[in-house]
Amino acid sequence: MTDIKSMNLEQMTAFFKQLGEPAFRAKQVFCWLHKGARSFDEMTNLSKSLRQTLTRECFIDVPVVERKQVSALDGTIKYLWRLPDGNCIETVLMRYKHGNTVCISCQVGCRMGCAFCASTLGGKVRDLRPSEMLDQVLFTQLDSGEPISNIVLMGIGEPLDNFDTVLRFLELVNSPDGLNIGMRHISLSTCGLADKIDKLAQYKLQLTLSVSLHAPDDETRSKIMPVNRSVGVERLMKACHDYFAVTGRRVSFEYAMIDGVNDSDAQADLLARHVRGMSAHVNLIPLNHVEESPLKPSRRVKEFQRRLEEQGITVTVRRRLGSDIDASCGQLRRKAMQDKQ
């Protein structure tokens, strides 16, 4: 059976040609799928026999709402979707003045092992397919009735560890015959797989690359982010500088502030030195406490911010949305898994 929703228009056109159908059929089906059609029977502008053929050859999977939490504070909605194979993934819809942003997952679980992150606690179960990433945007929009204008790949999983799928997903949501969401409205967040950052740069996409740095020195970073033991801060920063040089897009650095771990003045100074000269943006994130972790939120966010700003670095402090609904990714899926045990 073929996962037709993961196909781009070109593949779909070739597929319909094989079936002896004209090219415009591909476009019709592509449009239906990208509007969230649940079966070929809904596609009323296709002949009955073509619908039967497609039903025989292809499947259309649709995620089911397993849990849904709405923040009373700011209207943030968190979805826990159940996939047909029983796995669950999270998607968060955030409302900002500049439009609605959806935060989506790219893997079931994660194998990166960051010490502060709930998504990685049970390891990686499997990669998502392009259609399963697209569905999170489509069905969040359909269920909430809210139009989505921005996407962040900051949910469960490591996007660059599922590289080809993520590239296809970007092509799909960007398609003028689909959701048509501009690359400049998309952010991709990575724990810092340097060789994949190099590879991504070659595509010269206009999206925003966010790098989860969280520590400017190897000793600290290797402790909290195992990926650093093989990559190292110097190699990672080289990839970021090169990325900026090749794409002209400024890189954004995420920095979750952890009490007594990465919040010293010396670390602020080293961070400033790393990002200087690449028109970078540093986003300080108050750490979300994860029950299983001994790490605590820093009490020095303001001082750290000021110290960076004094050195000419652009800094923002992330506003916490949905703090009443476990909106940080990984936590809801984890709770649901524990409830089932």
Interface positions with ligand SAH (CB under 6 A): 114, 116-117, 154, 158, 189-191, 212, 254, 256, 285, 287-288, 290, 328
Decide whether 51 or 111 has the Cβ nearer to ligand SAH: 111
Min. distance of Cβ 47 from ligand SAH in angstroms? Answer: 44
Own/partner pairs, 314-320, CB within 8 angstroms, 24+ separation: 314/280, 314/281, 314/282, 315/281, 315/282, 315/283, 315/284, 316/281, 316/282, 316/283, 316/284, 317/283, 317/284, 317/285, 317/286, 318/283, 318/284, 318/285, 318/286, 320/286, 320/288
Bridge partners of residue 68, in order along the sequence? 79
Bridge partners of residue 58, in order along the sequence? 2
C-alpha to C-alpha distance for 151 and 201, rounded to whole angstroms:
19
Catalytic residue list contains 191: no
Burial (Cβ within 10 Å: 0-12, 13-18, ≥19) of residue 340: exposed
Min. distance of Cβ 155 from ligand SAH in angstroms? Answer: 6
Phi, psi of 286 (to 5 degrees): -60, 125
Decide whether 26 or 285 has the Cβ nearer to ligand SAH: 285
Decide whether 7 or 88 has the Cβ nearer to ligand SAH: 88
Cβ pair 156, 106 in contact under 8 A: yes
Q: What's 323's DSSP letter?
A: G
Min. distance of Cβ 4 from ligand SAH in angstroms? Answer: 28
Min. distance of Cβ 85 from ligand SAH in angstroms? Answer: 22
Decide whether 272 or 285 has the Cβ nearer to ligand SAH: 285
Min. distance of Cβ 103 from ligand SAH in angstroms? Answer: 8
Q: Exactly one of 21, 90, 132, 158 is catalytic; name it.
A: 90
Instruction: Determine the 3-state secondary structure of 54 from DSSP.
Output: helix
Catalytic residue list contains 90: yes
Decide whether 54 or 151 has the Cβ nearer to ligand SAH: 151
Q: Exactly one of 88, 103, 106, 329 is catalytic; name it.
A: 329
Catalytic residue numbers read: 90, 329
